[in-house]
A = this chain, B = another copy of it.
Amino acid sequence: MADQVEKKAPVRRRKEARPQELTTAALSLFVEKGFAATRLDEVAARAGVSKGTLYLYFDSKEALFLAVIREGIVPIIEEGRKLLVAHADDPVRMLREYLFGWWALFGDTELGGVPKLMTSEAQNFPEVAQYYVREVILPGKALMREVLDRGVAKGVFRQTDSELVTHILMAPLLHLALWRHSFAVCCQVPDMDPNAYLESFFDLVLKGLAATPEGGK
């Protein structure tokens, strides 16, 4: 019986894993070539199945795209939040964790290509873009705003327009991810070490946000 279980298990696991194998393959190809330039042949081949099999799991190429975004993104946010609350009393540490955590949990993984993909395709898939904004960008910014607000409350950060500043602070993170999936691949750019980049960024922001000693200049 144990034998049977073991024999069946991988098969069942396989079947259940199929959609994710497909979205994973699709994600990397969409990121690399863009949605329109990716052929479903390639996606299927990379996932090790035939082209027809794709249609057992997804109604169309667009549905596959939606699934790629849907399944790939959602769980990250929650993990990030957990990471941050661990340092809720230390806004500087929270900021640092945000930046490095964003990179470690997201930018540096295979999901790191999603910002490039979504930026490229937002206009072609407005509903997906809206979904992404609602589920990823806004929560991510809200999380950053919490960090900032907490810092202000603690007297560590100075008062700023947190809406604008969160936007600004996301930019270098996104840039790091976009760069890796665009120019870094095809141009012999002097290797940019993400850690050093993030350290510099963290240093810059910290000083840029630092509360003035006595509220004066």
A interface, CB within 8 angstroms of B: 32-37, 116, 118-124, 126, 129-130, 132-133, 137, 160-161, 163-165, 167-168, 170-172, 174-176, 178, 181-183, 185-187, 189-190, 192, 196-197, 200-201, 203-210
Residues of chain B lying within 8 A (CB to CB) of residue A168 = 172, 175, 197, 200-201, 204
Q: Are B36 and A123 in contact, CB atoms less than 8 angstroms apart? A: no
Known: A126-B186, A129-B187. A121 touches B207 (CB 8 A): no
Q: Are A129 and B183 in contact, CB atoms less than 8 angstroms apart? A: yes
Whole-angstrom CA separation of A200 from B81 in the bound complex: 26
Q: Are B119 and A164 in contact, CB atoms less than 8 angstroms apart? A: no
Q: Are A200 and B124 in contact, CB atoms less than 8 angstroms apart? A: no
By beta carbon, the residue of chain B nearest A129 is B186
By beta carbon, the residue of chain B nearest A181 is B123
Which of B36, B164, B187, B208 lies in contact with A133, CB distance below 8 A?
B187
How many monomers of this protein are in the complex?
4
Residues of chain B lying within 8 A (CB to CB) of residue A130 = 186-187
Residues of chain B lying within 8 A (CB to CB) of residue A126 = 185-187
Whole-angstrom CA separation of A172 from B129 in the bound complex: 20
Which of B34, B35, B122, B132 lies in contact with A124, CB distance below 8 A?
B34
By beta carbon, the residue of chain B nearest A130 is B187
Whole-angstrom CA separation of A190 from B187 in the bound complex: 36
Which of B124, B163, B187, B196 lies in contact with A161, CB distance below 8 A?
B196
Q: Are A204 and B165 in contact, CB atoms less than 8 angstroms apart? A: yes
By beta carbon, the residue of chain B nearest A199 is B164
Residues of chain B lying within 8 A (CB to CB) of residue A161 = 196, 200
Which of B165, B182, B189 lies in contact with A119, CB distance below 8 A?
B182
Residues of chain B lying within 8 A (CB to CB) of residue A170 = 175
Whole-angstrom CA separation of A183 from B170 in the bound complex: 14
Q: Are A204 and B200 in contact, CB atoms less than 8 angstroms apart? A: no
